[in-house]
Amino acid sequence: MFDVRYHALSLAAIFIALVVGLLLGVAIGDKELVSSARNDVRDSLRRDVAEANRQRDQARAALAEQREFVDAAYPILTGNHLRDRNIGLVLLGPDKDAPGIVDRALEPTGAELKVVAVVRESVDLAQLAERARGTRYADLERDPELLDEFARRIGVQIVTGGRLIENVRSTLMSSVSGDFGGLDGVVVMRSADPPSDEAAAERVATLHDGIVRGLVASGVPAVGIETRDTEPSNVGWYRERELSSVDNVDEVAGRAALVFVLGGSAGAFGRQESAEALLPPVVGRVPRP
């Protein structure tokens, strides 16, 4: 029994030695084969990288052509669409880029950006009351409930003009470029962070809400805008106040949507899930004389 086991172990050892020797021989003797395989892999990777670079360059060229076409088509699509109309821009908080974005959108349309007004991020009711002397809003400090009605009146007078807004403009607005009144459409951009003080934040919220509702009540086309990367989005806030909206005004499609909304279309446009479409229906649309 001992001899059989010993004989079996000997055979196994010999077999293992043969296998190991065979493998070592292949490894040592076939260096050229391994080197050849390595070169084949390297050449294949180089071809893949070259093909990927070619496809990337083609994609870039196609994208550049599309952008060139879109930029060329924009003035054709929107040219004279808002001819001789006066547009206002109301900023609920400062945004240095907004006037340039809106002005660029209006450039081929024949419209003029007549006024840009930036509403202060905080308001002093005592100063507003002083400026509103001679009107019922002179009681603003003693009766803050008047603020909503006051703000709505301001929204209307941004569009129509009026003595009240001229009296309070320096207190209510941090800056105004142009003149109020005589507007055929108005653009709103909301970007302000609320004040840290709870009472001040509530006053600003009431003021912004009332101004926008007054703009809508004036009857001219009114649209709330934001750029594609705005976070959090203001589209819901605009919708609650019955404003149309464009959520990608920094893109060509967004600028076109803005023009068509100012021309009379209504709805939510852009790239967000809440948008009804990228653009309003424009087929057969004729610029208004």
Task: Give the position of tokens 């029994």.
Answer: 1
pLDDT, position 58? 72
For the CA atoms of 262, 268, 269, 273, the dihedral, rounded to the nearest 10 degrees, stands at 170
Residue 27 or 196, more confident:
196
Decide: 186 and 238 in contact? Cβ < 8 Å.
no
Supply the CATH number for residue 134's domain.
3.40.50
Give the 3-state secondary structure of 35-100: HHHHHHHHHHHHHHHHHHHHHHHHHHHHHHHHHHHHHHHHHHHHCCCCCCCEEEEEEECCCCCHHH
| 133-154 pLDDT tens trace | 999 999 998 998 999 999 999 9
Q: Domain check: are 126 and 187 in the same one?
A: yes
Peptide bond into 108 cis (omega under 30): no
Strands (E) in the chain, as ranges, are 86-92, 112-119, 173-178, 185-190, 222-225, 244-246, 268-269
Q: Domain check: are 104 and 236 in the same one?
A: yes
| 47-61 pLDDT tens trace | 877 778 877 877 777
| Phi, psi at 131, each rounded to 5° | -70, -25
* Stretch (H or E) spanning 212: helix 198-217
Res. 230: pLDDT tops 50:
yes
Q: Domain check: are 216 and 259 in the same one?
A: yes
Taking the C-alpha atoms of residue 258 and residue 105, their distance in angstroms, rounded to an integer, is 8
Residue 140 lies in a domain: yes
Q: Domain check: are 39 and 154 in the same one?
A: no
Residue 227 lies in a domain: yes
Residue 132 lies in a domain: yes
pLDDT, position 131? 94
Least confident of 52-66, 91-105, 146-160: 52-66
Distances (CA, A) of 253 to 67, 110, 282: 11, 18, 12
Residue 287 or 134, more confident:
134
Q: What is the mean pLDDT of the chain?
A: 85
Distances (CA, A) of 212 to 103, 163, 190, 206, 238: 21, 19, 10, 10, 9
Taking the C-alpha atoms of residue 223 and residue 209, their distance in angstroms, rounded to an integer, is 14
Residue 122 or 215, more confident:
215
Q: Domain check: are 127 and 195 in the same one?
A: yes
Taking the C-alpha atoms of residue 140 and residue 147, their distance in angstroms, rounded to an integer, is 7
Q: Domain check: are 89 and 19 in the same one?
A: no
Residue 270 or 28, more confident:
270
Residue 90 lies in a domain: yes
Q: Domain check: are 25 and 93 in the same one?
A: no
Residue 274 lies in a domain: no
Residue 76 lies in a domain: no
pLDDT, position 99? 96
Residue type, 7: H
Q: Domain check: are 94 and 52 in the same one?
A: no
Residue 48 lies in a domain: yes
Domain count, the chain: 2
Taking the C-alpha atoms of residue 28 and residue 22, their distance in angstroms, rounded to an integer, is 10
Containing domain of residue 116, as a range?
Answer: 83-269
Q: Domain check: are 161 and 19 in the same one?
A: no
Q: Domain check: are 108 and 226 in the same one?
A: yes
The sign of the CA dihedral 13, 19, 20, 21 is: positive
* Stretch (H or E) spanning 170: helix 163-172
Least confident of 31-35, 68-72, 136-140, 264-268: 31-35
Q: Domain check: are 49 and 95 in the same one?
A: no
Q: Domain check: are 109 and 147 in the same one?
A: yes
Q: Provide the whole-model pTM.
A: 0.77
Q: Rounded to 5 degrees, what angle do the CA atoms 131, 132, 134 make? A: 120
Q: What is the DSSP letter of 137?
A: G
Residue 52 lies in a domain: yes
SS3 271: coil
Q: Of 41, 58, 75, at which residue does a domain stop?
A: 58
Distances (CA, A) of 72 to 8, 76, 78, 80, 231: 87, 7, 11, 15, 30
